[in-house]
Amino acid sequence: MSSTATKRKSTAGAGVASKKARTDNSHEAARALVSEILANPDAYAIPERDEDVRKILIELAEYARALEGQNASGSAGAPPKSKEQLEEAAEKIRRAAHAGIKKQMSWKPSCKTGGAKWSYDGICPDPNVFGVLMGLDGPPTWKMKKFTVNEFDELMGEITSSARYSELRLTGTNVNARWSDTGEFKFSGTYGV
């Protein structure tokens, strides 16, 4: 295409409904009221009649309760994940962690004694998915937990790597697992021959 040619306007979106999530209009008056109050808090005129003030307070309270319900369910109206969806998401994280740990397992002199260190940082925003990943019955209730190397191998799959005519594997007695409510997690341990 030459530099003098004009570009045509895309018609890909013409006539197609917007894919944006539809908003809940049941609290539109409360949303407008919040915007109006926050736009100029000092100049907002407070109604003189008690009934009008009571109506405003009830609208705001219902809106706050609806927001609490959305927040408690995770996201606005998102249904909870099925067991299969949780397992599928956990498997993706498991594969990434397995590959990330294996990538760190290279030959070092400390491999001879089984003291070479590895550490893997990851993110799992859904605590239920992390619970499935770690073989728990629900979201983790701990911030840090030690798993034996055998338990960790059962959860993640056996992690081995070849280096210098040797096979490297996880060593030591424990693998440390840390979990944060923000969804960040960290695994750390040792490896060697």
pLDDT tens track for 68-108: 766 555 544 456 777 788 888 888 989 888 888 888 888 88
Give the residue with greater pLDDT, 11 vs 49: 49
Q: Residue 76 has what pLDDT?
A: 47
In DSSP terms, which residues pair with 147 in a beta bridge? 175
Q: Residue 22 has what pLDDT?
A: 44
Are 161 and 108 found together in one domain? yes
Q: pTM of whole model > 0.75?
A: no
Q: Residue 52 falls within a domain, yes or no?
A: yes
pLDDT tens digit sequence for 160-177? 888 778 888 888 888 899
Burial class (CB in 10 A: 0-12, 13-18, 19+), 133: buried
Give phi and psi for 45, each to the nearest 5. Answer: -80, 120
Are 65 and 96 found together in one domain? no
Are 126 and 91 found together in one domain? yes
- Parent domain of 55: 30-72
Are 104 and 144 found together in one domain? yes
Are 112 and 174 found together in one domain? yes
Asked if residue 155 lies in contact with residue 136, where contact means CB atoms within 8 angstroms, the answer is no
Total tally of structural domains belonging to the chain: 2
Q: How many CA atoms lie within 13 A of 37 on its CB side?
A: 11
Are 101 and 155 found together in one domain? yes
Q: Residue 137 falls within a domain, yes or no?
A: yes
Q: Residue 5 has what pLDDT?
A: 52
Say what percent of the chain tops pLDDT 70.
Answer: 80
Are 93 and 185 found together in one domain? yes
Q: 């319900």: which residue's tokens?
A: 69
CB atoms within 10 A of CB 73: 12
